[in-house]
Amino acid sequence: MRKINTATVVGAGYMGGGIAQVLALNGFQVTIADASAEATHAALKRLETEAREFEEQGLFPEGSADTIVGNLTAADTIEAAVADVDFIEEAVFEDPDVKKDVLARISAAARPDAIIGTNTSTIPVKVLVEAVTNPERFLTVHFSNPAPFIPGVELVAGEATTQEVIDAVKDLLVRAGREGAQVADTPGMALNRLQFALLKEATLIVEEGVATAEDVDTIVRTTFGFRLGFFGPFAIADQAGLDVYAKAFRTLENAFGPRMATPKLLTDTVDAGRHGTKNGKGWTGDFDDETKARLIAYRNKAYSRMADLLRELGPAPRGS
């Protein structure tokens, strides 16, 4: 398998800087570059300071700051930063024109075989790829904020992206202690379609006077959001019962119309006799009695530990 050992992050702000820290902490030789030499070197100092603070706070293991400092350097220009590295991650403003300008500069200065990723959260690969030479090496590698602490990374391949490139980036993520999930090349991909759909419904609930914003946040973080740290929506539905979900959707559809109609995938699954873990057949696989018992034990332990952690941390600070 093709191996990535050296990397450059272009755009050394909060997001790009966090990505650089992740890679440097996990043994990659990383260079950062920003709009100017002054901005880049200032970012390097900030990242070194942050790394030491994270270590002092117990957020990074002992010795992490020295590892990051040893693996992280700054370049005076984008061209110098990308000239001879295996992988370049673009992490500039979420604006197609700005990203295209930067990607064109990267493409002109990088090795022809260097893999180029973009950290866009919503823009399709097909929109940005026109700025990249050798498009087979280009894809979305979408880290989430704050990058040092969020393990998931969304991957989006373009029509030209080769499997070799995809596999090399997936290998990089594993070595960086991250989990990659590959999705199709559509606006918003999967992460933000899900996130924005929840926010849209939350705002409607507040506008309709069903609950206050504070109460919506409380409901989300103490109920289904509490579970989401351990299970995705398909796994949660399997545990609750897919036939139960189908009946609940009928109530919602009667009240709110097509916006809350029962998903065809759910109806088809229930009609096929797959009701979740209750009958051993669900969206996330087949479950024998032993597997169900282990799942329940894991779930109960996970939720108990989460409750302990929240009690330890106390409530999050709120604005006045």
Report pLDDT digits (tens) over 191-229. 999 999 999 999 999 999 999 999 999 999 999 999 999
Sequence ranges of the binding site for NAD(+): 11-16, 34, 94, 99, 121, 145, 278
Question: What are the C-alpha distances in Å from 285 to residues 228, 231, 282, 288?
Answer: 19, 14, 5, 10
Which pLDDT score is estimated for 1? 84
Q: Is 241 helix (H, G, I), strand (E, B) or coil?
A: coil
Which residues of the chain form CATH 3.40.50.720?
6-183
Asked if residue 152 lies in contact with residue 179, where contact means CB atoms within 8 angstroms, the answer is: yes
What are the start and end residues of each CATH 1.10.1040.10 domain in the chain?
211-313
Q: What is the pLDDT of residues 18-43, one digit of tens each?
A: 999 999 999 999 999 999 999 999 99
- Map tokens 């097909």 to a residue: 126
Cα-based angle 44, 49, 55 (whole degrees, multiple of 5): 125
> Buried b vs exposed e over 183-197: b needs ≥16 C-beta within 10 Å?
bebeebbebeeeeee
Binding-site residue set: 11-16, 34, 94, 99, 121, 145, 278
Q: What are 144-173's pLDDT values in tens digits?
A: 999 999 999 999 999 999 999 999 999 999
Element (H, E) at 112: none
Those residues of the chain that have pLDDT short of 50 are none
What pLDDT is recorded for position 181? 97
Q: What is the pLDDT of residue 320?
A: 82
How is residue 100 written in tokens? 């295209």
pLDDT score at 129: 98
Name the pTM for this structure: 0.94
Rounded to an integer, what distance in angstroms lies between the CA atom of residue 113 and that of residue 109? 11
Architecture of domain 6-183: 3-Layer(aba) Sandwich (3.40)
Instruction: Confirm if 85 and 114 have CB atoms less than 8 A apart.
Output: yes
Kindly indicate whether the domain formed by 211-313 is annotated with CATH number 1.10.3720.10. no
